[in-house]
């Protein structure tokens, strides 16, 4: 059964069509990944699910109820929680206090001005918050002020703030953005472990994360869903490669990165979504050469955001370094 149905959603910012006739159906209990190049409209789409933006036309039905025109906090109370692209936490409060705030909202049904004085529910709320902090592995840090947390822990905290509300639908906008590989792996682990009954929509650039978590992938490009299906179908989809790479294969010629006068790329690259752009940027920045035999698949499941990741992915596939 679909828990979220998006039909023909359009959203323009001035002359820019950020969303163009988007259709999407998210099955209950699944992890649905939305991928796509920068500026594809992914965050805009999520904003339409939480009431931050109202589509110009189209419908968004959650659990049989239209979300359009409903205020963000009311949408939240229907069971939709969101982890933002930039963590939104109360930086001058402790971790525990951060999680207690949405827990109060859950218990009381709304945010209350005098929430902190409600002695009757405080114990219950504290218990809920502590249980979730245990789940996400932040229990020992519960009294630390949120501003001093690492990026990975801030994400974990945000996740806890969502989980404590026990949402039906959890929206995650780039949950691993800016994280180290170790923190990324921890986050994937966490998402696989906690809230298994919760339907999740994950926007991600990191394909390791996408393919580790997703049951279904929708690909957005220039505001339109250009492909949707199981991860194995999306991986080899020519339309997807076209969207990311501007072609099924990326033909690198000598001198292509010669803009900085020192780099050159040879060979025919066949890259998974997102890797090509990064690789180009890395090569441009580093002025190093990518050695790739003609017609060979470097096997880079991108986008790997840093050169060491590109190297590691290449190394995994070929047992040697990609850059030299
Ligand atoms: N509030 C806004 N006003 C004007 N333009 C906007 C606004 N929000 C987004 N856009 C534009 O709409 C397009 C889609 O942006 P969006 O943030 O949804 O992309 P995205 O797929 O989330 O990209 P990224 O992967 O970089 O996060 C972009 O061209 C962006 O500049
Ligand atoms: Mg975005």
301-310, pLDDT tens digit by residue?
A: 333 334 555 5
Q: Ligand 2 mean position to 289 CA, how many Å?
A: 31
> Which of 16, 37, 83, 274 is the best mutation target for the ligand 1 pocket, counting ligand atoms within 8 Å of the beta carbon and taking the most?
16
- The reported pLDDT for the residue numbered 301 is 30
Which of 97-111, 141-155, 180-194 shows the lowest mean pLDDT across its residues?
Answer: 97-111
43-65, pLDDT tens digit by residue?
A: 999 999 999 999 999 999 999 99
Q: Is the CB of 37 under 6 A from ligand 1?
A: no
Q: Is the CB of 36 under 6 A from ligand 1?
A: yes
Which of 44-48, 179-183, 198-202 shows the lowest mean pLDDT across its residues?
Answer: 179-183
202-228, pLDDT tens digit by residue?
A: 998 888 899 999 999 999 999 999 999
* pLDDT higher than 60, residue 113: no
Q: Is the CB of 48 under 6 A from ligand 1?
A: no
Domains of the chain are 2-238 (3.40.50.300), 249-318 (no CATH)
Long-range CB contact pairs, 9-13, < 8 A, 24+: 9/45, 9/48, 9/55, 9/57, 9/58, 9/59, 9/60, 10/55, 10/56, 10/57, 10/58, 11/41, 11/44, 11/48, 11/53, 11/55, 11/56, 11/223, 12/56
- The reported pLDDT for the residue numbered 313 is 55
- The reported pLDDT for the residue numbered 171 is 95
- Residues of the chain with pLDDT > 90: what percent? 47
Please compute the mean of the pLDDT values over residues 96-107 and round it to a whole number.
Answer: 86
Which of 40-49, 145-154, 231-240, 262-271 shows the lowest mean pLDDT across its residues?
Answer: 262-271
148-166, pLDDT tens digit by residue?
A: 998 888 888 999 999 999 9
The residue whose C-alpha atom lies closest to atom 4 belonging to ligand 1 is 13
The residue whose C-alpha atom lies closest to atom 18 belonging to ligand 1 is 41
Contact 50/171 with Cβ under 8 angstroms?
yes
Q: Ligand 1 mean position to 155 CA, how many Å?
A: 21
> Which of 12, 16, 39 is the best mutation target for the ligand 1 pocket, counting ligand atoms within 8 Å of the beta carbon and taking the most?
39
Q: Is the CB of 44 under 6 A from ligand 1?
A: yes
CA 44 to ligand 1: nearest atom: 18
């Amino acid at each position: 059964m679909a828990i979220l149905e998006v039909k023909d959603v359009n959203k323009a910012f001035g002359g820019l069509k950020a969303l163009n006739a988007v259709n999407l159906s998210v099955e209950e209990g699944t992890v649905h990944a939305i991928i796509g190049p920068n500026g594809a409209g992914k965050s805009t789409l999520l904003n339409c699910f939480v009431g931050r933006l109202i589509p110009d036309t189209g419908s968004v039905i959650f659990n049989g109820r239209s979300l359009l025109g409903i205020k963000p906090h009311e949408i939240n109370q229907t069971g939709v929680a969101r982890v933002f692209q930039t963590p939104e936490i109360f930086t001058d409060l402790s971790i525990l206090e951060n999680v207690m705030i949405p827990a109060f909202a859950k218990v009381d049904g709304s945010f209350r001005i005098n929430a902190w004085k409600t002695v009757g529910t405080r114990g219950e709320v504290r218990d809920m918050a502590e249980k979730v902090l245990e789940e996400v592995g932040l229990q020992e840090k519960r009294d630390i002020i949120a501003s001093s947390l690492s990026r990975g822990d801030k994400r974990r905290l945000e996740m806890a703030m969502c989980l404590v509300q026990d949402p039906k639908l959890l929206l995650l906008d780039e949950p691993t953005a800016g994280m180290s590989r170790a923190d990324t792996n921890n986050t994937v682990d966490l998402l696989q472990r906690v809230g298994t009954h919760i339907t999740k929509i994950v926007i991600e650039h990191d394909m390791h994360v996408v393919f580790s978590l997703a049951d279904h992938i929708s690909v957005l490009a220039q505001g339109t869903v250009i492909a949707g299906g199981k991860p194995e179908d999306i991986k080899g989809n020519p339309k997807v490669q076209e969207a990311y790479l501007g072609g099924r294969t990326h033909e690198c010629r000598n001198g292509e990165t010669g803009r900085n006068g020192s780099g050159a790329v040879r060979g025919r690259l066949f890259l998974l979504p997102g890797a090509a752009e990064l690789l180009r940027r890395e090569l441009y920045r580093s002025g190093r050469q990518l050695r790739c035999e003609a017609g060979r698949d470097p096997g880079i499941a991108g986008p790997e955001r840093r050169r060491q990741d590109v190297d590691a992915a290449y190394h995994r596939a070929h047992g040697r370094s990609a850059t030299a």
